[in-house]
Structure 1
Amino acid sequence: MTRRRIAFAGFQHETNTFAPSHAGLAEFEVADSWPGLLQGQKVVDGSRGMNLPIAGAVRAAEEAGNVEVIPILWCAAEPSGPVTDEAFDQISGTILAGLKAAGPLDAVYLDLHGAMVTDSYDDGEAELLSRIRKMTGPDMVIGVSLDFHANLSHQLVDLATVITINRTNPHLDMGETGARCLVEVLRTLDGCSRTVAFQQAPFLVPLHALNTGAEPCKSLYQAVADIPASSTEYIELAMGFTAADVPDCGPSVVAYAETRNRAEEMLQALFQQLIESEAAFDTSLLSADEAVRSAMSMTGSGPVVLADVQDNPGAGASSDTTGLLRALAGAGAHKAILGIMCDAEICAKAHEFGVGGDFHGGLGGRSGIVGDQPFKGHFKVRALSDGRIPYTGEMYAGSIAEIGPSCLLAIENEGREILVVVSSERTQCLDRALFTHFGVDPYECEIVCVKSIIHFRADFEPGSLAVLNVSAPGLFPCELKGQNYQKLRRGLRILPIS
């Protein structure tokens, strides 16, 4: 069996060009829900057992038995505004230096996102691959795994030898996606020659409409999965990241086969299914007041989950807007919990007063969004934490949330109570552990409010009475009409035809 020397590296960022913040080197170095920047053998040891593409790729390499794993670097930063040139150049330079120092290589595996925008480049991943290609040459086998929300460009598809993309949303198959990529890299090294076909869809789909457990995504991704894993041909579907104002924003299809005709045939079959599904995407949203009133009127087993989709920090939002909290208080909601509100100042006060203490203050509302302001009230401290919280849900199990000094606050309103989990660092509320860590079982609440879009569904939707998507102010636009796009390619529809 021929021994293969394969370099492994990862550089992940999902960029919200509408967010005012930037991702500098420090943001890639710090641990959040994923590890901080890893180099050398720590890339393998620090990600092992996690639902990460690079962990899956390493596992597949080890199972193959003929791969020498050469780990170089892996890093990711919490979604935000563009990656700074300094961070991009330094991290890219470290990857390039590692590839050069590795000596003769048979292939390179890259764990990327697909929606990275930098201060200078609309397509950060394509620029990284361009720099790697200049050093390795056109014949080097380069496998790339990408996120479900990748905005694929022709340049990226041309530069990569093979691409694999997450097929679930919530992303429960990130590790599997990395493993599939490594398998395709090995097939290529063993002589499997393929051509690629690629096409971009003419419309955008808001992220809250992209649940793969519901139609039309369910059928679309079933069509992707119907091609046997043992086949030398395969197809991938990316649904795009609508907060990246770039020409290549939106859904796309990429197909691999031994002949150009077969690749085009496969692509057109799925692409036509995507086009015919356009009107089936449910893009509806309820106002905060409508959602709270609806939740309070429902009867049955389990909580009603309200998703504050436009303030999802997992898509670059600030996680501190107060629209949904105000609606809860205004309606006199009871046995309700909201998380995660990011407010380091309030967390510091809670730790100062201690459990059982109470204080007046203004919670959240500091992101500068028009119409949003701090929620002023009287808060009672119910629980405190250092913010290191092991995840227990399927998507992030094995990882630890690093949310900084944090607390559980109670807001009393005419004998009714609203609980709020507050963090010092932005964290998407996608795992029940972010509530149970503070002693609250969300299934014992009547209303559960999460600052998330889709990922929460894996851990919160089972056993819930209903899930409602809420349109409250936030830095991640789900209401695309009227959004100030400047760079989208000509003819791209902002919303699917309804």
Structure 2
Amino acid sequence: MTESPTRLPRIAIAGLSVESSTFSPARTTVASFRPKRGAEILATRPFWSPGGSLADAAEWVPILQGRSIPGGPVPAEDYRQLKEEILAGLRAAGPLDGMVFDIHGAMSVVGMDDAEGDLAVAVREVVGPDVVISTGMDLHGNVSRRLAHTLDLLTCYRMAPHEDALDTKERAVHNLLARLALPPEHRRPLKAWIPVPILLPGEKTSTRIEPAKSLYARVPEIEALAGVLDAAIWIGYAWADEPRNCCVVMVTGDDEAVITTEAERLAAEIWARHEEFAFVAPAADLEACLDAAVASDQRPYFISDSGDNPTAGGAGDVTWTLDQLLRRPELADGRLTAAYASIPDAEAVKQCVQAGVGAKVAVQVGARVDAGPAGPVELTGEVRHIAEGDPDAITEVVVRAGGLDVIITERRKPYHREADFNRNGIDPRSTDLIIVKIGYLEPELFAMAKDWMLALTPGGVDQDLIRLGHRRISRPMYPFDTEPFQPDLSARIIPASDQPDPEA
């Protein structure tokens, strides 16, 4: 007699992922999310794509996955449209055993305080109490108590920059598969959840340096303990003014005593060191950064234009830094070479393309979304290069003014890789100064830079949080409250999602 084959678990995949600065006038629309559906979703992750290590581990039911470059809040109607499509897809999917809830954790929706929590609750109402839901989030996401209770399994990145992003997404799936292999009554772990009242930009919490380096090193040690399934530190998202925004520690597992002890110990360690958090690189105003770069003999010298960083939620077209660069005599007369990446402006790109490579142009660029402190800037120079086909930028144009190459894009794009410059006819290794709209340097740029500084520039993701003017975050909160205070760092044990949470 042959045994019947074991039924594979049916696991849905759906979610919306974006960082949204509530201090940016930009908006993240349906088109910004570039929604993927069906087989397109499976192709985004090697582990569950055809031939991947987990391709045959489940019957995958991909619904909708929307992922946007960080930006401004999502208009309520755009959110509703995507949410309804996800819910409709889940209703049509039939019986499910599990779900991968693919989110970042820092999505803001106009008129809403906890967008991921809202979406999670709506998903739970559709799939029912028995479906186990797992997520792998960005450590700059936010974990409200509502989100922690509604989902069963939560984990997040352990590195900033996020070199472990794919590993984290895969870990969330492995956690889900492992729990689905248990009897139904044992599938849902307990969660020890602790909000820690600090709210800091990622540039002060990079795992390249202390104290985040050693604090995050504790996470896998805790995860390895008996009775623990996962441990996580969400630093939180600093550029949204919502009550949920702060650091959160959570330890997940089946042994309540162990997860309570470890969560409280980790939260206490973070709080004991909260005043140690500092910028990942020397930081100063732009003028001081440029002075240091000019005086240095290290080439290429990188400067982060951090206040309008599109990878943190900046609109990308604040022109304040470009205006200052065009005023620097060393760049204007070509004594130094520099590249600036980038300014999105579809109209300026159109004019440059019409003029053609080699043409002299005078175009107004930037400040179409975020007028900022400078407004549009007149850029006069030679069209040096035109590139077509980048999936984010669409069309890229390089205009040279003196010794400065300015990359103008049809659509907003972050510049993280050497190839981004090479594609535009720029060799960053032989350029004196590289000024890029970014916070901490991503790995390729970090490896390339002979030296670098973080410029504290204005924009929707200004590193000076006090200057931004948060009004709705929970208080007291470091660094907004300067008087010493002692927070409640006791663990709140959040019951399984199929049990009511009296404090939710």
Residue 129 of structure 1 pairs with residue 125 of structure 2: no
1:3 aligned partner: 8
Counterparts of 2:179 and 2:52, CA distance in 1:
14
CA contact (8 A) 2:100 2:135 kept: yes
CA contact (8 A) 1:79 1:313 kept: yes
Counterparts of 2:285 and 2:200, CA distance in 1:
19
Residue 294 of structure 1 pairs with residue 258 of structure 2: no
One of 316, 321, 344 as aligned partner of 1:324: 321
CA contact (8 A) 2:300 2:430 kept: yes
Counterparts of 1:261 and 1:120, CA distance in 2:
39
CA contact (8 A) 1:292 1:327 kept: no
The percentage of counterpart residues that share the same residue type is 26
Counterparts of 1:200 and 1:250, CA distance in 2:
7
Compared CA separation, residues 135 and 457, structure 1 to 2 (3 A): closer
One of 190, 193, 196 as aligned partner of 1:195: 190
Counterparts of 1:58 and 1:493, CA distance in 2:
43
What amino acid does structure 1 have at the position aligned with 2:159? T
Residue 488 of structure 1 pairs with residue 473 of structure 2: yes
2:451 aligned partner: 466
What amino acid does structure 1 have at the position aligned with 2:120? L
How far 1:196 moved relative to its partner? 0.5
**Structure 1 runs not aligned, ≥5 long:** 29-35, 50-55, 390-400
Counterparts of 1:237 and 1:493, CA distance in 2:
17
Compared CA separation, residues 256 and 48, structure 1 to 2 (3 A): closer
Compared CA separation, residues 179 and 60, structure 1 to 2 (3 A): farther
How far 1:317 moved relative to its partner? 1.5
How far 1:329 moved relative to its partner? 3.4
Compared CA separation, residues 194 and 419, structure 1 to 2 (3 A): same
How far 1:133 moved relative to its partner? 1.5
2:59 aligned partner: 68
2:133 aligned partner: 142
**What CA deviation, in whole Å up to 9, does each residue of 1:314-371 have, x standing for no partner?**
2222222233233333332311111011122221111011111111233324445453
What amino acid does structure 2 have at the position aligned with 1:7? A
One of 41, 45, 48 as aligned partner of 2:39: 41
Residue 382 of structure 1 pairs with residue 387 of structure 2: no
CA contact (8 A) 1:379 1:410 kept: yes
Compared CA separation, residues 8 and 125, structure 1 to 2 (3 A): same
What amino acid does structure 2 have at the position aligned with 1:19? S
Residue correspondence of structure 1 range 158-307 to structure 2 within 5 A: 158-191=149-182, 193-227=188-222, 232-283=228-279, 285-300=283-298, 302-307=299-304
1:396 aligned partner: none
What amino acid does structure 2 have at the position aligned with 1:86? E
Counterparts of 2:433 and 2:117, CA distance in 1:
43
Counterparts of 1:260 and 1:38, CA distance in 2:
39
How far 1:228 moved relative to its partner? 5.6
CA contact (8 A) 2:19 2:312 kept: yes
What is the TM-score with the length of structure 1 in the denominator? 0.88
How far 1:435 moved relative to its partner? 0.8
What amino acid does structure 2 have at the position aligned with 1:315? A
Counterparts of 2:211 and 2:62, CA distance in 1:
38
CA contact (8 A) 1:364 1:374 kept: yes
SS state at 2:467 partner:
coil
What amino acid does structure 2 have at the position aligned with 1:336? A
Residue 344 of structure 1 pairs with residue 346 of structure 2: yes
Counterparts of 2:221 and 2:407, CA distance in 1:
42
Compared CA separation, residues 81 and 318, structure 1 to 2 (3 A): closer
SS state at 2:468 partner:
coil
Compared CA separation, residues 135 and 61, structure 1 to 2 (3 A): farther
1:402 aligned partner: 392
CA contact (8 A) 1:363 1:374 kept: yes
SS state at 2:349 partner:
helix
How far 1:229 moved relative to its partner? 6.2
SS state at 1:26 partner:
helix
Counterparts of 2:369 and 2:360, CA distance in 1:
25
Larger radius of gyration: 2
How far 1:20 moved relative to its partner? 1.5
SS state at 1:315 partner:
coil
CA contact (8 A) 1:442 1:448 kept: yes
Counterparts of 2:63 and 2:459, CA distance in 1:
37
What amino acid does structure 2 have at the position aligned with 1:256? T
1:392 aligned partner: none
Counterparts of 1:365 and 1:120, CA distance in 2:
25
2:147 aligned partner: 156
**Structure 2 runs not aligned, ≥5 long:** 1-5, 485-504
Residue correspondence of structure 1 range 77-96 to structure 2 within 5 A: 77-96=68-87
What amino acid does structure 1 have at the position aligned with 2:376? P
How far 1:307 moved relative to its partner? 0.3
CA contact (8 A) 2:193 2:249 kept: yes
How far 1:496 moved relative to its partner? 8.9
How far 1:137 moved relative to its partner? 2.4
SS state at 1:339 partner:
strand
Cα RMSD after superposing both structures: 2.2
1:451 aligned partner: 437
What is the TM-score with the length of structure 2 in the denominator? 0.87
CA contact (8 A) 1:205 1:242 kept: yes
Counterparts of 1:155 and 1:170, CA distance in 2:
28
Counterparts of 1:463 and 1:230, CA distance in 2:
39
Residue 441 of structure 1 pairs with residue 443 of structure 2: no
Bigger CA drift: 121-130 or 206-215?
206-215
